[in-house]
Chain A
Amino acid sequence: MNKCLIVGRPNVGKTAFLLSFSRYLGLKDIEIKVRTSDGSIHSRKRRLEDAYSELVQSSPHTTQELQSVVLKLPVGKGYRVFELVDSAGLIDGVHANPVIRAAIAQTIEAIAAASVVAHMFDAALLGSAGYSEGIGQVDRDLFEYAKLQADYFILANKMDLSGAERGLELIRSTFHQVPVFPVSAKTMEGFKEVKRHVSRLV
């Protein structure tokens, strides 16, 4: 089964997207497969809204393992089944917490196993007036590496917030020749385009 891996910095909305996109495709209850960094696998069944309030948090490094949902996309007369995988947020340097480091290593390792990589940004943060750091090194390197490994596209998330348009522009002017989809994991804006694009890839 093809894997579409969502990667990006902490708190950009990866988990929110995983769950919202599942809801968008019609799921109400989901089974989340969790793969921890030491290799064990287990499954959690939840109502979607319960999973959302449990797994989506405003603090960084919430997700510390790979968690995935199997999704069905209508293609032609039939369906295509693929695995949408959420991962741990990436940072530039070395994290002091060994558990988070292991999760980051696991995420990087997962890139090689994915057939599609969706690289997510927080467009609202990038575009906000007080944010001067711009697009960081890890995102630049991720871009360079991931597009060698898989079909690659960018999700500019949190488009429902003010400033996001500016962030989107920054993303588009930094990363050339790759598809960039403005979305909101909150309002599901832009999901139609993502769905169409992913259907062609998986």
Chain B
Amino acid sequence: MRPAYTNSRQIYQELAKGNLGTVEALHALRLLQANGSVSTLPASAGDPTGKPNNALEELNKLIGLEAVKKLVEEIQAFVQIRRYRQEYGLKAEPLVLHMIFKGNPGTGKTTVARILGALFKELGVLSKGHLIEVERADLVGEYIGHTAQRTREQVKKALGGILFIDEAYSLARGGEKDFGKEAIDTLVKAMEDHKDELILILAGYRREMEKFVQSNPGLSSRFPIILEFPDYNLTELMEIAKLMVKEREYRLSEAAEKCLYNLLKNQVDNYDENRGNARLVRNLVERSIRRQAVRLTRAGQFDRNSLTVLTEADILAAAEGAE
């Protein structure tokens, strides 16, 4: 299910996360105000929240992310071999699977985290394998002691699965007196206390994460696995778009495909802040689908072919709305 904005809080949160721009957020708020709610689209077949039967297969279906796939395969092999060695009474390295994810928004970090949860469940490393996604505001409280309590609550929810902390460096933001530090201390303690039932992933922008790790010397030994999520390149973005369109049972006209290609190329060539961001591709596709609906309704065109084709005009209208 894509988010349907049924209350303004969701919109504020998406805005803070960077999933919405200010202009889009103001639009959404106005719509919400006008209708009481905003229309929703059906859940897509390829929704990453769907239960994968086989986590690795699910991972390999993702477009791009070659380095990530390779590293995950290594982790899987390592976990398995370690288990066999234990059976023979051989020395086994301690299994520390806490990770750092570095990359821009929309590069697949949450999706991969979710798949890893499922993988570790399959491997018997985690009992549940679910993902709890939090950010600073979910952990940090308003008075001394409050933060520790809130952080412990989140940890508790994540036991048996993965606690995914987005923009983790924001915990170190306010300096010594900030409650963020209390959250970090509580997390470190939770990692010791629940060694076998919790995996922590710290995620965020590459540069900020590197600074964060450098300025907290204890971190790199506690988080031995580092995955880099590069921006998607133009070919990958096109593949992602086409897959999304296909999953939703639409197709792009030739002109639409060319138009989409040029739009994305423009972003990539101009070093647009949002280049290489799969979430934006998704927004564009979804917006095109809505534009198509408006166009067909106006034209009174409801034949099967018209219903499945996204035209150049739909893409352009969607892109304009995105500005």
Please say whether chains A and B are actual partners in one complex: yes
| Complex CA distance for A98 and B205, rounded to whole angstroms | 9
Contact with A along B169-209 (1 / 0, CB 8 A): 01001000000000000000000000000000000110000
Contact A108 B273 (CB under 8 A): no
**Are B323 and A137 in touch, CB under 8 angstroms?**
yes
Q: Does A55 contact B (CB under 8 A)?
A: no
Residue numbers in A under 8 Å from B33 (CB-CB): 145, 148-149
Known interface pairs A93-B273, A98-B167; A141-B8 also in contact (CB < 8 Å) = no
Confirm or deny: A91 has a beta carbon within 8 angstroms of a beta carbon on chain B.
yes
- State the Cβ distance, A105 to closest chain B Cβ, in Å: 4
Q: Report Cα–Cα, A109/B16, bound state, in Å.
A: 11
B15 proximal to A (CB < 8 A): yes
Is B18 an interface residue, CB under 8 A from the partner? yes
Among B8, B21, B136, B170, the residue within 8 A (CB) of A94 is: B21
A179 to B18, CA, bound (A): 33
> Size of chain A's interface in residues, with CB distance under 8 A?
29
Beta-carbon contact of B8 and A98 below 8 Å = no
Contact check, A104 vs B8: say whether CB atoms are below 8 A apart.
no
The minimal Cβ–Cβ distance linking B296 to chain A, given in whole angstroms, is 27
**Interface of chain A, helix or strand or loop or mixed?**
helix
> Does B55 reach chain A (CB closer than 8 Å)?
no
Partner of B170, one of A91, A98, A108, A148: A98
Most buried by A among B11, B22, B140, B167: B22
User: In the bound complex, do residue B12 and residue A105 qualify as a contact, i.e. CB atoms below 8 Å apart?
Assistant: yes
Binary CB contact string for chain B from 21 to 59 against chain A (1 if under 8 A, 0 otherwise): 111011101100100000000000000000000000000
Given A109-B12, A137-B323, A94 contacting B26 (CB threshold 8 A):
no
B18 to chain A, nearest CB (A): 5
B62 within 8 A of A: no
Q: Categorize the interface residue count of chain B.
A: 20 to 34
Cβ of B167: which chain A residues have Cβ within 8 Å of it?
98
Whole-angstrom distance between the Cβ of B195 and the nearest chain A Cβ: 30
- B18 x A101 contact (CB < 8 A): yes
In the complex, chain B residues whose CB is within 8 Å of the CB of A177: none
Q: Which residue of B lies closest to A137 (CB)?
A: B23
Q: Determine whether the beta carbon of B18 is less than 8 Å from that of A94.
A: yes
> Is residue A138 within 8 Å, beta carbon to beta carbon, of the partner chain?
yes
Per-position binary interface string of chain A over residues 133-174, scored 1 when its CB falls under 8 Å from any chain B CB and 0 otherwise? 000011001101100110000000000000000000000000
A92 CA / B140 CA spacing, docked (Å)? 29
Q: Given the interface contacts A94-B18, A94-B273, A148-B30, does A141 sit within 8 Å of B23 by beta carbon?
A: yes
Is B16 a contact of A38 with CB atoms below 8 Å? no
Q: Does B20 contact A (CB under 8 A)?
A: yes
B274 touches A (CB below 8 Å): yes
Question: Bound state CA distance, A93 and B274, in angstroms?
Answer: 10
Choose from A38, A39, A96, A106 the contact partner of B273 (Cβ within 8 Å).
A96
Mark interface residues in B138-176 (1 if CB within 8 Å of A CB, else 0): 001010000000000000000000000001001001000
Q: Does B13 contact A (CB under 8 A)?
A: yes
A101 engages B17 (CB within 8 Å): yes
Identify A144's interface contact among B15, B30, B137, B323, CB under 8 A: B30
A105 with B15, Cβ < 8 A, contacts A90-B22, A93-B273 known: yes
A142 and B29 CA atoms in complex are apart in Å by 10
Measured in the bound complex, the distance between the Cα atoms of B17 and A90 in whole Å is 15
- With both chains docked as a complex, state the minimum distance between the C-beta of B109 and any C-beta of chain A, in angstroms: 14
- Cβ B142 vs Cβ A40 within 8 A: yes
Given A37-B16, A108-B26, A141-B27: A92 and B142 interface contact (C-beta under 8 Å): no
| CA A96 to CA B25, docked complex, whole Å | 16
Closest 10 CB pairs of A and B: A105-B16, A141-B26, A105-B15, A93-B21, A94-B18, A102-B16, A145-B26, A109-B12, A94-B21, A105-B12
The chain B residues found within 8 Å of chain A, CB to CB, are: 8, 11-13, 15-18, 20-23, 25-27, 29-30, 33, 136-137, 140, 142, 167, 170, 173, 204-205, 273-274, 323
Where the two chains meet, the residues of A that have a C-beta atom closer than 8 Å to any C-beta of B are 37-40, 90-96, 98-99, 101-102, 104-106, 108-109, 112, 137-138, 141-142, 144-145, 148-149
Q: Could you pull out 12 A-B pairs where Cβ atoms are within 8 angstroms?
A: A38-B136, A92-B21, A93-B23, A93-B274, A94-B18, A95-B18, A98-B205, A101-B18, A106-B12, A106-B16, A142-B26, A145-B26
